[in-house]
Structure 1
Amino acid sequence: MEQLSLLELFSPPRRERRKKVPSTRSTAALERLAAAYLAPLRKLRWLCPRRVRVIFNARLRSTLGRADFTNVTVELNPHLLDRNPQELVPTLVHELCHLAAGPRAGHGPKWKKMMQACGAKPTVCHSLDTSHLRRRRRLWIWRCKSCGEGYPRHHRGARRYRCADCGGRLLVVADPAAGK
């Protein structure tokens, strides 16, 4: 397997917060690394994608990575990887094994065998601190006319919904535009 240093693959920015995702040069290095990790899986006669795109997706929130089966792409979270560069390679391998195992395999036995064939531990979840990540604020509060149950929402459009408890109509009680 081609040995690439973590600094070559992914170097954190000098500023505290990054406004742009990493350069395309680092994604090219990650794609070479992805090809190197898929090679042993092909030798074991597992069907693997020939070429995998690796991109940084700044819209990911608490997950380190995601496998996109339709576009044969691994999406990585630049915000979490900025603070935890040691998680880059394990996350890449994790998502590559998802692509190789297929959309129905999940974290099952086939995926676990592929992780072990790549020399990685088949861990499912990370335990990283995500408190620094931006959370969506629920700006709209809807309340049931009948029972008073409140429903915080990201968007205003709840006119066609009813209360889950009693079936009553919902009314806006907090409107960000009106400053209420």
Structure 2
Amino acid sequence: MDISDALELARELMDEHGVGDWEFAFDRAKRRAGATNFTARKITLSKALVQLYAPEQVRAVMLHEIAHALVGPRHGHDAEWKRMCVAIGGDGRARLPMDSPEPEAPWVGRCPAGHTAQRYRRPTRQLSCRRCSRSFSPEHLFVWVNRETGERTAPA
């Protein structure tokens, strides 16, 4: 979805459901679609994920976060939150479907057996492949490559 359309949708839904006095912003999250900050009275959406999602997915995430704002910080994803989410037009799900698009992580690690792992931040310590060994194993260390620059790293 286009960022400007998402911003317009967010403000529209916030006004419609009584949290128009809350702040809205986009954040840099890659692993969660939205967040509700009760102290700052602020709802945020992941800019990276919004750009990958269809309008109906963005709408569902906004309604999810608005339901949090309406029921308050002590409810998490409990029955009261779910009732509110459904009442305002959301689906009442605590999580997005597993097949929702995700941004590509810039760092890809490959173990000697060829298994891969992804990281959004540059790895700063040695990591070994969990598929090859349940505990840390120097024989199964990942070598990391940045998709964008080709930089290679094997943290010490």
Q: TM-score range by the shorter chain?
A: 0.5 to 0.7
Counterpart of 1:33 in structure 2 is: 13
Asked if the contact 2:6/2:50 (under 8 Å) is kept, the reply is no
Task: Tell me the percent identity.
Answer: 20
Asked if the contact 2:36/2:44 (under 8 Å) is kept, the reply is yes
TM-score (norm 1): 0.56
Structure-to-structure mapping, 1:138-177, within 5 angstroms? 138-141=123-126, 174-175=155-156
Aligned length: 119
Cα gap change, 1:112 to 1:52, in 2 (>3 Å): same
Structure-to-structure mapping, 1:1-180, within 5 angstroms? 11=2, 22=3, 27=7, 30-38=10-18, 49=19, 51-57=21-27, 59-86=28-55, 87-126=57-96, 127=98, 128-130=100-102, 132-134=104-106, 135-141=120-126, 174-175=155-156
CA distance in 2, matches of 1:102, 1:75: 16
How big is the shift at 1:80?
1.0
Asked if the contact 2:67/2:84 (under 8 Å) is kept, the reply is yes
CA distance in 1, matches of 2:123, 2:104: 18
CA distance in 1, matches of 2:78, 2:58: 22
- CA RMSD in angstroms comes to 2.9
Asked if the contact 1:35/1:52 (under 8 Å) is kept, the reply is no
TM-score (norm 2): 0.63
Asked if the contact 1:31/1:53 (under 8 Å) is kept, the reply is no
Asked if the contact 2:53/2:101 (under 8 Å) is kept, the reply is no
Which structure 1 residue ranges, 5 or more long, are not aligned?
1-9, 12-21, 39-48, 143-148, 153-172, 176-180
How big is the shift at 1:34?
1.0
- SS class of match (1:99): helix
Asked if the contact 2:9/2:59 (under 8 Å) is kept, the reply is no
Asked if the contact 1:65/1:92 (under 8 Å) is kept, the reply is yes
Q: Find the structure with the greater CA-based Rg.
A: 1
